[in-house]
Amino acid sequence: MPAPVVTPQRTQQSPIKLHTLKSYYAPELKPIDFQYTKVSGVLEGEEFVLERVGPGCRVVFDGMECPLRKLHYHAPGEHRIDGVTADLELHLVHEIPAYPDEYPSAYLVVAVMLTPAVTKAAPQQALGPWLRGHFDARSGGARQTYEVDPSIYLPTERAYFRYEGSLTTGDADEVVSWVVLRSPQNIEGPGPLKLDPESARIVQPLMRRYVLRSFALIA
């Protein structure tokens, strides 16, 4: 009998559910080296796109230098960590300029769960204006530019989950190496935040993947 025809399908989609007890401790996963500093950029819709001037921000990920290109948010959070969905999930989108064979990905996205002060009290602010409260407006040319130090979004404790997946918007291309920080970061905005419209993709099946984690279980 001939082998069954294999239909190409997408098997590495994001986001996914992350479980501490169903993931695997990989001691070789090194701490992510965040080399962040104040950077300038422009807002394109709800996405902050960094200007490509100066040294910029980058992470060193498994020996590779990956520059930070943009950051954006999803409300509510997309990845679910041990059954919990955060109010906001920040995506720090880094480019993998030259990847070795073991990282056939175009992007390293670091996800951070944010816990803003959210209340039902009026007046609430939409996400865009709320986020701009973290940015320093800079007068400039035709386009309004802003400055921000993305390290304000990083929690002190940076243990993480690690898996291969996809973008969660657009065509959901499977070109992302994901690092999802386990600990959330408390972040203050200029007043209460209105969490709609929702901009989160629903969780996708794990399929034939394993999720690694950088932290051991404490007995």
Chain residues binding Zn ion by CB under 5 A are 91
At closest approach, how far in Å is the CB of 95 from Zn ion?
15
What tokens does 70 get?
Answer: 């943009």
- Contact, 43 vs 50, CB < 8 A? no
> CA-CA distance, 163 to 47, in Å (whole number)?
24
What tokens does 174 get?
Answer: 């499977």
Nearer to Zn ion, 91 or 194 (CB): 91
At closest approach, how far in Å is the CB of 91 from Zn ion?
4
- Contact, 119 vs 130, CB < 8 A? no
Residue nearest Zn ion (C-beta atom): 91
Nearer to Zn ion, 15 or 189 (CB): 15
Nearer to Zn ion, 134 or 215 (CB): 134
Nearer to Zn ion, 91 or 213 (CB): 91
At closest approach, how far in Å is the CB of 164 from Zn ion?
16
Nearer to Zn ion, 19 or 201 (CB): 201
Residue 101 neighbours by CB under 8 Å, 6+ apart: none
At closest approach, how far in Å is the CB of 167 from Zn ion?
7
Nearer to Zn ion, 49 or 191 (CB): 49
At closest approach, how far in Å is the CB of 74 from Zn ion?
5
Radius of gyration from C-alpha coordinates of the chain: 18
Nearer to Zn ion, 110 or 211 (CB): 110
> CA-CA distance, 47 to 148, in Å (whole number)?
13
Outline where DSSP puts E strands in the chain: 17-18, 24-25, 33-35, 39-44, 47-50, 58-61, 64-74, 80-81, 88-95, 107-116, 136-138, 145-148, 160-165, 176-181, 185-187, 212-213
At closest approach, how far in Å is the CB of 44 from Zn ion?
14
At closest approach, how far in Å is the CB of 82 from Zn ion?
21
> CA-CA distance, 110 to 108, in Å (whole number)?
6
The letter for the amino acid at 136 is D
